[in-house]
Amino acid sequence: MVEKIYTITSHSGIHARPATVLVGAVTAFTSEVFIEYKDKKVNLKSIMGVMSLGIPEGAQVKVIAKGDDEEQVLNSVNQVMKTEGLGERWQTQSK
């Protein structure tokens, strides 16, 4: 299992369009992928789950991946965070 923590820098936070891009970026992977905000953890492959978190600018979120392609999943999330201007990674944890 690997985890990365991001600080959301987008003024709009993670709203519908970037949430859709994030979900699309991880759906094809076999690993389980979650996003956690304020002690609530949801499946990152679920647009409704991600939207239910209401993640604003300045929030710190944790992305957790567990499975055979977990590193590739987090690389994909990193790419989306950069290209969409959503956030910056500041910590990586492997378990």
Length of the chain: 95
Among candidate residues 1, 15, 30, 75, the one labeled active-site is 15
Task: Return the structure tokens found at 51.
Answer: 């939207």
Tell me phi and psi for residue 34, to 5 degrees. Answer: -130, 155
Active site residue 11: no
Radius of gyration of the chain (CA): 12
> Which residue, among 33, 41, 37, 39, has the nearest Cα to 76 in the 3D structure?
33
List active site positions. 15
